[in-house]
């Protein structure tokens, strides 16, 4: 009988240091409706939180909608909807230190849905917060590159939210 165990996927990490940021402010941007809606989603997309329960086995349900012409055109050409709903399930929550969650990649045409695990570590360092986001690689290098580019844009957006006005 063949094994049902899936091989471990490669993990990819992205790091950012937010100078002058307080850990509480960074945490709030990851764990509140207003915070998530202010930065989550790559450029050219808008996110609306439908449900949020940040605790072990809690969930985040959000809708991401393409709003910029280039993204709308890309999605239409790929046969993808302009709005997708995503469900995040929290697998670890340690306030001000770590968030871990899974979500299903079920929006890729011709690819069977699969889970992607993500861990976000928050480290307070003098006068800053260091954040390390680690995610499972996607099903191929092209989609892994797109996922990393998306997260890099999102983390840049997060950094802009943390800069003093």
Q: Place 41 in a pLDDT band, splitting at 50, 70 and 90.
A: confident
Q: Place 108 in a pLDDT band, splitting at 50, 70 and 90.
A: confident
pTM, to two decimals: 0.85
- Taking Cα atoms as reference points, which of 118, 116, 120 lies closest to residue 131? 120
Which of these CATH numbers, 3.30.365.10, 3.30.530.20, 3.40.50.10490, 3.20.20.70, describes 11-162? 3.30.530.20
Q: Place 2 in a pLDDT band, splitting at 50, 70 and 90.
A: very low
Q: What is the mean pLDDT of residues 41-57?
A: 94
User: In sequence order, what are the residues at sequence separation of 6 or more whose Cβ sits closer than 8 angstroms to the Cβ of residue 93?
Assistant: 54, 55, 56, 58, 99, 100
| DSSP SS3 for 92 | strand
Q: Place 6 in a pLDDT band, splitting at 50, 70 and 90.
A: low
Q: What is the mean pLDDT of the chain?
A: 89
C-alpha dist (Å) from residue 80 to 46, 71, 109, 140: 16, 11, 7, 18
Q: What is the pLDDT of residue 62?
A: 95
- Taking Cα atoms as reference points, which of 9, 89, 23, 3 lies closest to residue 54? 89
Q: What is the pLDDT of residue 3?
A: 43
Element containing residue 51 per DSSP (H, E) = strand 45-52
Domain boundaries, the chain: 11-162
Residue showing tokens 């990851």: 30
Q: What is the mean pLDDT of residues 52-74?
A: 94
């Amino acid at each position: 009988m063949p094994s049902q165990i899936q091989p471990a996927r490669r993990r990819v990490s992205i790091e950012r240091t937010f100078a002058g940021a307080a850990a509480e402010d960074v945490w709030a941007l990851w764990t509140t409706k207003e915070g998530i809606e202010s930065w989550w989603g790559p450029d050219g997309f808008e996110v609306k939180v439908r449900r949020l329960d940040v605790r072990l086995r809690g969930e985040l349900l959000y809708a991401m909608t393409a709003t910029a012409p280039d993204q709308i055109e890309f999605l239409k050409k790929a046969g993808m909807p302009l709005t997708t709903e995503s469900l995040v399930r929290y697998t670890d929550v340690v306030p001000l230190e770590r968030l871990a969650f899974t979500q299903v990649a079920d929006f890729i045409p011709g690819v069977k849905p699969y889970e992607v695990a993500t861990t976000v570590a928050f480290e307070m360092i003098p006068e800053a917060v260091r954040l390390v986001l680690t995610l499972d690689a996607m099903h191929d290098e092209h989609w892994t590159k797109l996922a990393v580019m998306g997260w890099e844009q999102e983390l840049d957006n997060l950094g802009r939210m943390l800069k003093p006005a």
